[in-house]
Structure 1
Amino acid sequence: MYRNLNSLALGLTKKGGFLMTCSCSGAVTQIGGAASMVGRKITVVRQSSAASDHPIDPSYPEGDLHLENVYYSEMKDAGFFDADWE
């Protein structure tokens, strides 16, 4: 399911653009397969975990690993891309 959703999102993302995908199940690793499905080469720009309002049980610290926000960009020209930050 996440692979199909992310392949559709990547297909709509402009080349050199950014995609943020989030998952509470650790399924964001499927983004590589999604990129292959639509013929895109991507790179991780930033990866973060849950915000401070998402408590982590000290007896289960692995709980922080199950909510991820990952920002991707398609690689252009050997990994460099132009971005309009204005």
Structure 2
Amino acid sequence: MSDVYMMIRQCLEKTGLGPMRVGEVLGGTPIFGEAGLLNSLELVHFITSLSEAAEIDPYDLMKDGDEALRRTFRDIHHLSTALTGLLGQAVEA
């Protein structure tokens, strides 16, 4: 499991998701949106946890509006791609 996936897993656990829901996310189940596992409050907590763990501004995960937020948090694959890009930008800065 990659470092980004491990960070996502730890942040999901910190958000209060149990092993079953964490496993579902890691298996590709939608994270947020109409069929997503997280409600709005859990998503906010998850974004806060991710931004702290990745040492990035939480705004960077949300800055492009609702549709981009749904795309980013569609599933673990989309989220890990977005985080990898943000972490790469942080290293370059």
After TM superposition, the score normalised by the length of structure 2 is 0.29
Instruction: Write 1 or 2 for the structure with the bigger share of strand.
Output: 1
Instruction: Write 1 or 2 for the structure with the bigger share of helix.
Output: 2
Structure whose alpha-carbon radius of gyration is higher:
1
Q: Which has the higher contact order (CA 8 A, sep 6+)?
A: 1
After TM superposition, the score normalised by the length of structure 1 is 0.31
